[in-house]
Amino acid sequence: MNKNNSISCRGIVVALKANFLIVEINHQHFEGYCLDQFSEKIRLLCKRRSKLDYQGFVIHVGDIVLVESIDYKNKRAIIAGVESRISFLKRPAVANVTLIAICISVEHPSFDSEQTSRFLITAESANIKPLIILTKIDLIKQTDLNLYIQKFKSWGYDSVPVSMKNLQGMDLLIERFRETRLTVLAGPSGVGKTSLINQLIPTLSLPTSSVSKKLRRGKHTTRHVELFSIGDGSLLADTPGFNRPEIVNDISGFAGLFPEFRAQFTHSKCKFRNCLHRDEPGCVVDKDFERYSFYRESIEEMIKSHLPYQEGSV
């Protein structure tokens, strides 16, 4: 029997490639073997045990897995089990995310308030803390940048302004990433997610491309989710950009996804528990905040999409 078959250890899925999964493990898991030739982390090309396939369970990037039958000469192994997740982000699909860094550029592509809110709602509905990274700040004046920072503050979010051209803001960002276990860089195409990772890990040289002059949008250069180690056990996920995240269709829970509403709910309650904070009697929320119109339009859309179902079910 191959001696390697007796080894099993935990690892993290860092990428999916066709029918294979790439799992990264730490070298200390191989104690007892001659590992001097390997660097600190090893990436293994893995297949799943067929019993996992039968259970219909889909393994995603970020999943913590148990790997067996390790052939470390050829860097191959079999995934025998998956640990339960602490969180799951559906799009981009990443498990065990601890921070969503929503990258939003001030120009090229230009800032879009609704789009930014849609990314924030995605993070909120997955119950994962969002942080806004304001990119390409070399393209605007400091006074305009201050307005963006104030805007996000009024929405209830911190933002970190950065530029890959003059490296402004990078120290603060690195600090935030290093104190976080798994940060996902999410956001529209062309905002500079991959450029940011290349800056942090210069040995990578991942492909990036300029924003289309005609469409003023990114070219969807990154096609797959991939995790990269940035030291101290922290991981950063590059993800494909997408421009219009879907909003979760949850009428009663929707207001709770806005910090502006949450701040009010701590000290005041509407008359009816199912108040949707439109024109309901006894509604006590102050609707005088910037994103109220986005809330209102979204909730009306959701109500409309529920109507045929409700009528049919009465």
Residue 214: both structure tokens together: 């005609």
In whole angstroms, the minimum distance from the beta carbon of 199 to ligand GTP comes to: 8
Residues in 277-296 at the binding interface with Zn ion, rule: CB under 5 A: 277, 283, 285
**Site residues (vs ligand GTP, CB under 6 A):** 135-136, 138-139, 163-165, 189-195, 208-211, 218-222, 240-241
275 binds Zn ion (CB under 5 A): yes
Size of the site for Zn ion (CB under 5 A): 5
Is residue 264 near Mg ion by the rule CB under 5 A? no
Bridge partner list, 99: 183
Residue closer to ligand GTP, measured from CB, 108 or 277: 108
Shortest Å distance, C-beta 230 to ligand GTP: 16
296-310 core/surface letters (b: 16 or more CB in 10 A; e: else)? eebbeebeeeeeeee
Reduced to 3 states (helix: H, G, I; strand: E, B; else coil), residue 278 is coil
Which C-beta is closer to ligand GTP: that of 118 or that of 136?
A: 136
SS3 assignment, position 139: helix
3-state class (DSSP) for residue 148 = helix
Q: How far is CA 152 from CA 146, 236, 258, in A?
A: 10, 23, 12
Residue nearest to ligand GTP (CB): 241
Is the distance from CB of 199 to CB of 164 less than 8 angstroms?
yes
**Residue 99 token pair:** 């921070």
Task: Rank residues 130 and 241 by Cβ distance to ligand GTP and give the closer one.
Answer: 241
Q: Which of 186, 65, 60, 55 is nearest to 115 (CA)?
A: 186
80: contact with Zn ion by CB under 5 A? no
* Residue list 194-253, contact with Mg ion (CB under 5 A): 194, 221-222
Q: Which tokens is 182 given?
A: 């798994």
Check: CB of residue 91 under 8 Å from CB of residue 59: no
The nearest distance, CB 240 to Mg ion, in angstroms, is 7
Angle between helical axes of 193-200 and 170-178 (0-180°, round to 10): 80
Considering the complex, state which of residue 105 and residue 264 has its C-beta at the smaller distance from Mg ion.
105
Which of 89/276 has CB closer to Mg ion?
Answer: 89
Q: Kindly tell me which of 24 and 138 has the beta carbon lying closer to ligand GTP.
A: 138
* Strands annotated E in the chain: 9-17, 20-26, 41-48, 64-71, 76-82, 88-89, 94-95, 99-105, 130-135, 159-161, 182-186, 226-229, 235-238
Minimal distance, residue 185 CB to Mg ion, in Å: 8
Partner from Zn ion, ligand GTP, Mg ion, none binding residue 191, C-beta < 5-8 Å depending on class:
ligand GTP
Residue 189: which of Zn ion, ligand GTP, Mg ion, none does it interact with, CB under 5 to 8 A by kind?
A: ligand GTP
Report, in Å, the least distance between residue 18 CB and ligand GTP.
20
The answer to whether 270 contacts Zn ion (rule: CB under 5 A) is yes
Residues that bind Mg ion (CB under 5 A): 193-194, 221-222
Residues that bind Zn ion (CB under 5 A): 270, 275, 277, 283, 285
